[in-house]
A = this chain, B = another copy of it.
């Protein structure tokens, strides 16, 4: 019997399928060249059917896809501080190596979004600012715990860590011989007196 609860569950499953299809299409073609029509075809629906679930259209699909990626990282880092937080960054990088499609999607979107007209422009600017700030807080805590090397500026170390993470992902996707998790660990350790 498909009562309201059954309908709700069915609709949530549909949304989930659509987000997965959007993920695959944007990862392959980027946001600009990807289309709602391609996403609809992937999931065996009409374009109108997809827009019934995502009234905001392509930008709403983009938002749903981006939020999904952040949820994963936030789960790993929840409640962690100092060296424990920095170790979490290494764990996230290790996960990424098994999620090539997601890394590719994110790399393409963050590059496209450098254009100020792109719908995710504000999202990426704010996201990088937020992450840099969280990582700086972790280095500060490491400093209070006596685990930071003398003379290291937590804010500069955070931006450097973020830049290295992004750069390693790009090189890895472009077939270079990098081990994202171990290379980011090595980089973070250059700032630490107590290694992770």
Q: Which A residues are closer than 8 A to B by beta carbons?
A: 28-30, 32-33, 104, 107-108, 110-115, 124-125, 128-129, 132, 156, 159-160, 162-168, 170-171, 173-178, 183, 186-187, 190
With A30-B32, A163-B183 known, 8 other A-B pairs at CB within 8 A are A33-B33, A104-B115, A108-B108, A125-B175, A159-B177, A159-B178, A162-B167, A165-B167
Across the interface, do B173 and A114 meet the contact criterion of CB distance under 8 Å?
A: yes
Contacts A111-B110, A178-B159, A187-B160; is A128 near B28 (CB within 8 Å)? no
What is the CB-to-nearest-CB distance from A83 to chain B, in angstroms, rounded to a whole number?
A: 20
**Dominant SS at the A interface?**
helix
Across the interface, do B111 and A170 meet the contact criterion of CB distance under 8 Å?
A: yes
Across the interface, do A110 and B190 meet the contact criterion of CB distance under 8 Å?
A: no
Contacts A160-B183, A187-B160, A190-B190; is A176 near B132 (CB within 8 Å)? yes
Q: With a 10 A CB-CB cut-off, give which of A129, A162, A164, A171 has the most chain B CB atoms.
A: A171
- B-side contacts of A174, CB under 8 Å: 110, 113-114, 124-125, 128
Interchain CA distance A166-B165 in the complex, whole Å: 10
Out of B104, B156, B166, name the residue touching A171 (CB < 8 Å).
B166
Interchain CA distance A104-B164 in the complex, whole Å: 18
- B-side contacts of A114, CB under 8 Å: 104, 107-108, 170, 173-174
- B-side contacts of A178, CB under 8 Å: 159, 163
* Closest chain B residue, CB of each to CB of A163: B167
Across the interface, do B163 and A129 meet the contact criterion of CB distance under 8 Å?
A: no
